Amino acid sequence: MDPTQLVFLIIAGLSILVGLYLWSTYNGLVTLNVRVEEAWSDITVQLKRRADLIPNLIEAVKGYAKHEKEVFENVTAARAATTNATTPTEAAAAEGFMQSALKSIFAVAEAYPDLQASENFQQLQTELVDTENKIQASRRFYNGGVRDFNTMILVFPNNLWARQLGFGKRDFFEVDNPEAIAEPPKVQF
């Protein structure tokens, strides 16, 4: 084989290797970029879920708790009226009040057999924890994708080509104000 052919084969082989490397690097960067975009979408989905879910749950719990509270307050008031009645007229009126209060408890129990404020509050707490865990997991997944993407861009020799191929460093999902998350959120009714 003459030296010109050998040089040509070496140059052709190196060109193919460089081409395969660029092709592989580009596809890897595109794949990581899509994963980062997907992870960001997951965060926005979970934040939307929280924005939609939490106020509705709080209002539902408030409504049920208010309803139960009113029923039990009526029963307590009827009981007090019955025990405080000193005349037959007062006792009859108190008994009518008690019957009405008990009917409302039975109606609530029939309509909502499992209706208990504590269960609603437990459900709210469970949903709050679940939502926050999903948001946290989405943030971790996003940051992991950003880490992998940024690493691939910054390592040699990828750092020579990545910017020319249109890829730039991505930002991590970080808290702007660490003091704001120092205390756990408080749910107030």
For the stretch 159-175, pLDDT in tens is: 888 888 889 888 887 76
C-alpha distances (whole Å) from 132 to each of 51, 57, 178, 179, 184 are 11, 14, 17, 18, 11
- What separation in angstroms does the CA of 30 have from each of 22, 27, 69, 120? 12, 5, 57, 46
Residues of the chain with pLDDT > 70, as a percent, come to: 62
In a domain? residue 182: no
* Residue 178, domain member (yes or no): no
Does some domain include residue 20?
Answer: yes
Structural domain includes residue 176: no
Give the range of the structural domain holding residue 78, as residue numbers without chain letter: 3-170
- For tokens 């460093």, name the residue: 169
pLDDT digit string (tens) for 42-98? 877 777 777 776 666 666 656 666 666 677 677 777 777 766 766 555 656 666 676
Whether residue 115 lies inside any domain: the answer is: yes
pTM for this predicted structure: 0.60
The CA distance from 31 to 8, in Å, is 34
| In-domain check, residue 136 | yes
Residues 136-152, buried b or exposed e (16+ Cβ, 10 A)?
Answer: eebbebbbebbeebbeb
Domain count, the chain: 1
Percent of residues, the chain, with pLDDT higher than 90: 17
Name the band, by pLDDT with cuts 50, 70 and 90, for residue 189.
very low
72, part of any domain: yes
Mean pLDDT for the stretch of residues 114-130 = 68
In a domain, 78, yes or no: yes
